[in-house]
Structure formats: structure tokens, C-alpha cells
């Protein structure tokens, strides 16, 4: 069992998202063609796309819509593959062969899909679509961004390299050594988006039950019975979309990802002068550190950012807020005093290949995990793939194969906690070798 940090009661998004649609507990016996466990982006997008195809699934959620990572993430919607150097399109093509082209099209089209759903269903989630700034934290990191740019520009995606001077104009900071602007990206209130997806799925005819933890999923003849404390769904097929919160529903699924705990924090709203001086174009920003520094505004001018939990980082709120204050003041000295308002924890489901997998954990039961920090675009898009498959599309036509469960190597689980401090140490050494000051709050 992955140890979960406590629920983000002090989450910015819980304090600011519009209310969820009204849903109730699962009571008694229900039948449906498909039962979906988990009301995060994966489960909700699957239910939405299924309903649009005329298949009315039932979603069963242990807590509330968006309780997991979908309601507590950073809200960045960046439809590229991971920033890591070894996640080039060449790597994707080598790994996925004939599926690579549809997979790349799915991922690079995912912001269009997310913002399209937001417009179509009038989802109130502070949606902003102005692009993502990838910032080089040391001069050598520009090589990585140049390679990323070459990859995506060759696909015809809207993006451009940005020199140090323009980076200063776009960010208000003079600590970056250039950057890459990926224009087809945006950001949003993640819980607002999850709740909006739930409302859209209901509108299209799906059913959603909350406060209904699935305790077991068992075969009954040719069907599956998905049981909660007060009811059960009998369905031909089951989708387990429990992300990093997998456990009771299908315990073996926990072996298929490494859970990395993340602490997120949000400042109080900045005043107009600070807002005009810091990320004035309202881009979301991610830098090239091994543990990236990601930051964005919410819809009320609060800056929100996060760190991987390791040692006192993340686990000790006061310590982490001081570290993040140093980081913000080093990056933007003009920010002045920083007042933190919200602080919450959550867990990411990481696969070594940094892409989600579709596991057939039993005949007719799919388990979907491994978004590795890219769920806003990727889980939304994958919902359409899963719906296509359940609607009758051939497995060969899918951009991601359906496979037997593949556990992550033990080392991946360790890497999360142990390797990150080592990568930071190595990166600080490289920064010193460049003759630069190590960023404060690093
Ligand atoms: C701190 C953080 C920051 C992130 N930032 C970003 C970002 O900026 N951009 C981005 O694209 N992605 C980001 N991600 C990743 C993204 O949030 C996830 O990939 C995505 O939300 C996964 O969605 P999901 O539906 O698969 O899982 P989840 O949203 O975790 O949903 C799983 C649901 O299953 C439910 N569940 C579990 N067990 C049961 C059970 N037995 N019975 C019933 N229900 C059950 C849980 O309660 C939960 O609601 C971030 C993740 C974290 C943790």
C-alpha cells in the first residue's frame, strides 16, 4: 500500500473551485454496461466519451469528484511529452513503433481537446490558453530546449525559442538563460475542471456515485460485480481509474506505478504592481532543473508552485514555505514579502517511461495508471481512447497498447525518494561549474 499524505483540506482549488454537481452514495444494486472506479480526469473523461457514444457508464468514487490528483494538481495543461532529455520524440517513436504517430497526435492535440471541452460544456475553471514557458536554469540547458523545439516545430506545432532578453520581458526575471515558448498550452483550476467534466458526463447520461469506496471487484458469471459498503454495480466491463490512489479496488495495481508525494503551496493574491512585473503575460512556467520549478497564477493572482516531498521538504510546512519564499525572492526580487495562504499534499503515479499504461488486469477489467505528472491533457485524451476501445475499436488501432500488468521496478519506487536529492546535488555542482550562483531555495 502506498502511504498517502493527508487529503489537501487546505488546497487552493478546494477553496476556490465552483461547487461539484450534486451526486449521491451508491445504494443497492445497479447494472450498467461499464463500471468505472475513480472520478478523476481518467474516469470522468472515459465516462463522458462513452456517454457521447451512447454507452452510459456508472462512475463510482470513494470520496468526492476530483478528490485525487485531478483536484489537487498544478493545473498546467502542456500537451507535449515529458521535459526530460530522454523523452524526445525519437524515443517515443522507438518505443511505440507503429503506434507512435497516433500517440504523438493524441498528446499534441490534447490541449485543443481540453479547451474544446471547457468551451463546449461551459466549464468554469479559470481557463487561460496563452502558452507555457520552459525556462533554461543554466546556459547548457538551452541545448535540451533547442532539441525539444526541433522536435515539435517539425510537427508544425506552434512554438518558438526565446532569448535571454525576451525571457526577461516574458517572466520579469533575469535569472533564466533563454527559453522555449510552447504556444498551444494553457492552465486552469484543476478541481474546477474535474467538476466540470463530471457535470458534462452527467449531462450526457453517465451516472456518478460519490462517497462510495469500492472494496472489491469480483467475477459473477460473465459480468463483474463492483462492491461498495452500501451497494454494488454489475457490469460487463470495468475501468479502474484510481491513479496514485489505487488500493482496495484492485490491490495489484499499486505495483504498476511509483507514488511520489508532492507538496503544493499558493501565495495570497499579489497586488497589481507585482502581477504586472512577474509573469505579466500569465504564462505558466516550468524550468529545466531535474526537479522542475513550476509556477503559475490562479484566477485571482495567487502564485502556486510545488516541491517533491523529501526529508523536511514538503513534510514540514514552515520549512517548505521558507524555502519557497527564498526561491521566489531569488527569482523575482521585486516580489517583496511573500505571504503563503494555502498548502496541500498529493501523490503522482509515476512510470519509468513517463507515460500512462493500459493494463488488462483480468479479462474485461482495465487498470489505467502512470500519468507521471501529465494528467490534465493526457488523462483527458486517454479517456477518449479507452471509450473507443470499449466501444469496439480494435486494440491494434489504439495509440497505447492494452497489456498485462507490468509492475514498476523496485528502483523506480526508490528513485522517487532517494534519487531526487542526488539529482539536485549534481545539478548544483553543474551550476557552480558554469560559474553561476546556485539559485536560493533550491
Ligand atoms: C501535486 C501534483 C501536481 C500535478 N500537476 C500537474 C499539472 O500541472 N499538469 C498536469 O497535466 N498534470 C499534473 N499532475 C498529474 C495529474 O494531476 C494526474 O495525472 C491526473 O489527475 C490523474 O487523474 P486520474 O483520474 O488518473 O487519477 P486521480 O485524479 O487521482 O483520481 C483517482 C480517483 O480514484 C478514487 N479512488 C481510489 N480508490 C478508490 C476506490 N477503491 N473506490 C472508488 N474510488 C477510488 C480516488 O478517490 C480518486 O478520486 C499533478 C499531480 C500532482 C499530484
Mean pLDDT of the chain: 94
If you average pLDDT over each of 92-96, 175-179, 309-313, 404-408, which comes out highest?
Answer: 175-179
Ligand 1 atom nearest the C-alpha of 40 is: 25
Q: Which pLDDT band holds residue 352 (cuts at 50, 70, 90)?
A: confident
Q: Range with the lowest mean pLDDT among 206-210, 254-258, 284-288? A: 254-258
Judge whether 390 and 237 are in contact, CB under 8 Å.
Answer: yes
pLDDT at 131 over 50: yes
C-alpha cell recorded at residue 22: 450534486
- Identify each DSSP E strand in 192-313 by its residue range: 207-209, 216-220, 223-228, 231-240, 258-267, 284-287, 294-297, 303-308
Judge whether 206 and 51 are in contact, CB under 8 Å.
Answer: yes
Give the distance (Å) from ligand 1 centre to CA of residue 276.
Answer: 33
Cα atoms in the Cβ-side hemisphere of radius 13 Å centred on 203: 13
pLDDT at 73 over 80: yes
Give the pLDDT score at 422.
Answer: 85
Question: Which residues have CB under 8 Å from 167's CB, separation 6+?
Answer: 133, 135, 173, 176, 177, 178, 179
Cα-flanking dihedrals φ and ψ of residue 313, to 5°?
-60, 125
To which residue does cell 535571454 refer? 164
What integer is the mean pLDDT of 193-208?
Answer: 98
Residue nearest to atom 3 of ligand 1 (CA): 73
Judge whether 132 and 207 are in contact, CB under 8 Å.
Answer: no
Q: List, chain by chain if needed, residues with CB within 6 Å of any ligand 1 atom.
A: 37-43, 60-63, 67-70, 72-76, 213-214, 241-245, 247-249, 262, 264, 306, 346-348, 371, 373-377, 379
Domains of the chain: 12-428 (3.50.50.60)
Q: Answer yes or no: pTM beyond 0.95.
A: yes
Q: Which of 185, 242, 209, 167 is nearest to 4 (CA)?
A: 242
The torsion angle over the Cα atoms of residues 191, 197, 198 and 203, rounded to 10 degrees, is 150
**Distance from C-alpha of 356 to C-alpha of 93, rounded to nearest angstrom:** 16
Amino acid at each position: 500500500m502506498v502511504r498517502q499524505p493527508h487529503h489537501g483540506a487546505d488546497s487552493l482549488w478546494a477553496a476556490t473551485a465552483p461547487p461539484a454537481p450534486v451526486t449521491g452514495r451508491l445504494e443497492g444494486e445497479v447494472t450498467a454496461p461499464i463500471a468505472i472506479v475513480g472520478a478523476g480526469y481518467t474516469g470522468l473523461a472515459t465516462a463522458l466519451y462513452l456517454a457521447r457514444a451512447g454507452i452510459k457508464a456508472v462512475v463510482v468514487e470513494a470520496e468526492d469528484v476530483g478528490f485525487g490528483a485531478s483536484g489537487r494538481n498544478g493545473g498546467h495543461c502542456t500537451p507535449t511529452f515529458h521535459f526530460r532529455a530522454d523523452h524526445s520524440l525519437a524515443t517515443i517513436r522507438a518505443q511505440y513503433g507503429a503506434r507512435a504517430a497516433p500517440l504523438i497526435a493524441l498528446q499534441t492535440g490534447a490541449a485543443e481537446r481540453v479547451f474544446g471541452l471547457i468551451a463546449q460544456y461551459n466549464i468554469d475553471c479559470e481557463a487561460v490558453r496563452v502558452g507555457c514557458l520552459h525556462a533554461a536554469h543554466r546556459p547548457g540547458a538551452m541545448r535540451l530546449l533547442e532539441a525539444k523545439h526541433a522536435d515539435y516545430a517539425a510537427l508544425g506545432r506552434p512554438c518558438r525559442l526565446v532569448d535571454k532578453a525576451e525571457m526577461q520581458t516574458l517572466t520579469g526575471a533575469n535569472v533564466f538563460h533563454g527559453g522555449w515558448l510552447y504556444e498551444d498550452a494553457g492552465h486552469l483550476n484543476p478541481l474546477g475542471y474535474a467538476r466540470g467534466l463530471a457535470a458534462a458526463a452527467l449531462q450526457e447520461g453517465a451516472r456518478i456515485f460519490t462517497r462510495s469506496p469500492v472494496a472489491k471487484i469480483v467475477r459473477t458469471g460473465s459480468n463483474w460485480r463492483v462492491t461498495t459498503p452500501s451497494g454494488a454495480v454489475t457490469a460487463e466491463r470495468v475501468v479502474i481509474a484510481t491513479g496514485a490512489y489505487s488500493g482496495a479496488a484492485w490491490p495489484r495495481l499499486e505495483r504498476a506505478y511509483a507514488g511520489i508525494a508532492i507538496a503544493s503551496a499558493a501565495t495570497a493574491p499579489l497586488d497589481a504592481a507585482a502581477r504586472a512585473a512577474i509573469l505579466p503575460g500569465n504564462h505558466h512556467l516550468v524550468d529545466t532543473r531535474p526537479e522542475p520549478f513550476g509556477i503559475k497564477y490562479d484566477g485571482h493572482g495567487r502564485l502556486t508552485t510545488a516541491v517533491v516531498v523529501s526529508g523536511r521538504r514538503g513534510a514540514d510546512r514552515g520549512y517548505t514555505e521558507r524555502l519557497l519564499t527564498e526561491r521566489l525572492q531569488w527569482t523575482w526580487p521585486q516580489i517583496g514579502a511573500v505571504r503563503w495562504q494555502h498548502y496541500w499534499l498529493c501523490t503522482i503515479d509515476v512510470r519509468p517511461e513517463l507515460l500512462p499504461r493500459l493494463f488488462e488486469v483480468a479479462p474485461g477489467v482495465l487498470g489505467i495508471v502512470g500519468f507521471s505528472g501529465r494528467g490534465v491533457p493526457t488523462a483527458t485524451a486517454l479517456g477518449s481512447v479507452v471509450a473507443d476501445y470499449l466501444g469496439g475499436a480494435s486494440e491494434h488501432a489504439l495509440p497505447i497498447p492494452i497489456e498485462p500488468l507490468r509492475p514498476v521496478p523496485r528502483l523506480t519506487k526508490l528513485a522517487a525518494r532517494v534519487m531526487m536529492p542526488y539529482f539536485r546535488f549534481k545539478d548544483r555542482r553543474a551550476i557552480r561549474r558554469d560559474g553561476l550562483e546556485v539559485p536560493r531555495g533550491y
